[in-house]
Amino acid sequence: MPRETNPKIISNGRRYMGNMAVAGVLYTAAVFGGAFAIRNEALPQWAAILAALAPLLPALLMLRAYAIFLNGIDEFQRRIQTDAMLIAAAVVGFGSFAYGFLEEWANFPHLPLIWVFPALIGIWGLAACVLRLRYK
Amino acid sequence: MRNRLKVLRAERNWSQADLADKLDVSRQSVNAIETGKYDPSLPLAFKIAAVFSLPIEQIFSADEVAQAAE
């Protein structure tokens, strides 16, 4: 199966990877910097709140990178992406809803909410790969 | 929906990548349309018709229409 040759699609993909790499480096720095500051310094509450919310900014940069990418792809590729997003939203939404009941009524161990977003991103990526293979 | 994209492309000796470049879409999109796994939007269908210089109904037909013609 030949690889993609459309220069517009290729440059859009490269721009996406570049934007995501920059946001990923900033995110890693914010997470490690914040964790280091909170564990090693006696931070006042306002500074702890700032450190805890700092990773959100690069995460928003990732969202911006994805929005730019989505605008640069064709309708069929966009369909794959939106289908994958719907699958991820359904799996994570219903999964966390069901687990919430299990926590409350069946004494399942408490899971922190921080895992919801990575689960959403992970399942979205997996669903996009599977859908892409389906249309190959 | 059925289409004659593969035949029309072969008549012109175009690869899927050639057609994708002309339509400004990905090669995978051309493949999905050709194999009937994805029905293009109306604007893309018109673009395809313009690239082949044919009326849209000579490229695309509804399943029932195509079955009736066979």
Question: Is B45 in CB contact (< 8 Å) with chain A?
Answer: no
Q: How far is CA B26 from CA A5, A8, A12, A35, A103, in A?
A: 8, 9, 11, 42, 45
Calculate the average pLDDT of chain A.
91
Q: Do residues A10 and A69 share a domain?
A: yes
A2 and A69 in one domain? yes
Asked if A75's CB is within 8 angstroms of B28's CB, the reply is no
CATH fold group of domain B2-69: 434 Repressor (Amino-terminal Domain) (1.10.260)
pLDDT at position A119 over 70: yes
pLDDT at A40: 82
**What mean pLDDT comes out for the span B16-25?**
93
Clarify whether residues A54 and A92 are in a common domain.
no
Whether A61 and A119 map to the same domain: the answer is: no
- With 0-12 / 13-18 / 19 or more C-beta atoms within 10 angstroms meaning exposed / middle / buried, residue A103 is middle
Q: Are B45 and B2 in contact (CB under 8 A)?
A: no
Partner B contacted by A6 (CB < 8 A)? yes
Alpha carbon of A43: minimum distance to chain B alpha carbons (Å): 51
- B8-21: average pLDDT: 94
- How many domains, in total, are found in chain A? 2
CA angle B15, B16, B22 (to 5 degrees): 95
Q: What is the DSSP string of B1-69?
A: -EE-HHHHHHHTT--HHHHHHHHTS-HHHHHHHHTTSSPPPHHHHHHHHHHHTS-GGGTEE-HHHHHHH
Q: Domain range holding A57? A: 1-73
State whether B24 and A6 contact (CB < 8 Å).
Answer: yes
pLDDT of residue B65: 63
Alpha-carbon separation of residue A74 from A17, A21, A91, A106 (angstroms): 17, 23, 26, 46
Q: For the CA atoms of A70, A71, A77, A78, what is the dihedral angle to 10 degrees? A: 70
Best residue of B14, B28, B31, B39 to probe chain A, by most A CBs closer than 10 Å: B28
pTM of this prediction? 0.81
What pLDDT score does B1 carry? 87
Residues A48 and A93 in one domain: no
B45 or A38, higher pLDDT? B45
DSSP assignments along A55-81, one per residue: THHHHHHHHHHHHHHHHHS-HHHHHHH
Reported confidence tier of residue A135, pLDDT bands at 50, 70, 90: confident
Q: Do A74 and B24 touch (CB under 8 A)?
A: yes
CB burial readout A7-33, b (16+ within 10 A) else e: eebeebbeebeebbeebeebbeebeee
Mind listing the pLDDT tens digit for each residue in B34-70?
999 999 999 999 999 999 999 999 999 987 666 666 6
